[in-house]
Chains A and B, each alone.
Chain A
Amino acid sequence: RKEVEQDPGPFNVPEGATVAFNCTYSNSASQSFFWYRQDCRKEPKLLMSVYSSGNEDGRFTAQLNRASQYISLLIRDSKLSDSATYLCVVSAGGTSYGKLTFGQGTILTVHP
């Protein structure tokens, strides 16, 4: 089983749609959780951190369920510019000093 699993997609949605991505992780000792965005042939960039209480940043909402070891990202009112690969990222913390484990990414294409 992969440490971090995501549905690779692709997700093809029209502008204005709401789309949700899910991610599961296997290490129950994981401490920090992130969503990164990666554009084609570019480096990943932090989209948002994910907190146990859930957090929102404009059209983006992230949720964490520690009991189920599950993370989600919701994008409302999709824009063409949201087209990218979304990476679910988990940090084990503790003795795994700063080590991040990446999911394979979920591809999103927003069309007119």
Chain B
Amino acid sequence: DGGITQSPKYLFRKEGQNVTLSCEQNLNHDAMYWYRQDPGQGLRLIYYSQIVNDFQKGDIAEGYSVSREKKESFPLTVTSAQKNPTAFYLCASNTGDPVETQYFGPGTRLLVL
């Protein structure tokens, strides 16, 4: 089955700790995206990547970092600089065509201890 997987489903972060969220897709999509969703709010774009070894900041990139070493993978690191990391993190992908919709993974819920 083609799709997007995210792991873990739940993640707990201690103060001062960096954590990495995994996102993998086998849809052969060029473009991948990371969003954050807070309760009662829409999704906000953190980072996106149009092609391997290239990525761009979204609207709320501060405190986050990404890499795109492989087409299938786009991990997101939540660094200790992100002071309010508790949220639902969603990864998405598409072919990169600006008029095309995006397909989402099941999400990772990050909680701070």
Residues of chain A touching chain B, judged by Cβ–Cβ distance below 8 Å, are 4, 8, 31-32, 34, 41-46, 49, 87, 89, 91-94, 96-100, 102-105
Q: Does B97 contact A (CB under 8 A)?
A: yes
27 example contacts (A-B, Cβ-Cβ < 8 A) are as follows A4-B42, A8-B40, A32-B98, A32-B100, A42-B107, A43-B90, A43-B104, A43-B105, A43-B106, A43-B107, A45-B104, A46-B101, A87-B42, A87-B43, A89-B101, A91-B99, A93-B99, A97-B31, A98-B31, A98-B96, A99-B45, A99-B48, A99-B58, A99-B98, A100-B45, A100-B101, A104-B41
Q: How many A-B residue pairs have CB under 8 A?
A: 69
Interface residues of B (CB under 8 A from A): 31, 33, 35, 40-45, 48, 50, 58, 88, 90, 94, 96-107, 109
Q: Which residue of B lies closest to A104 (CB)?
A: B42
Tell me whether chain A's interface is mostly helix, strand or loop, or mixed: strand
List 5 extra interface pairs beyond A43-B105, A43-B106, A102-B35, CB under 8 A.
A4-B42, A41-B109, A42-B107, A44-B90, A97-B96
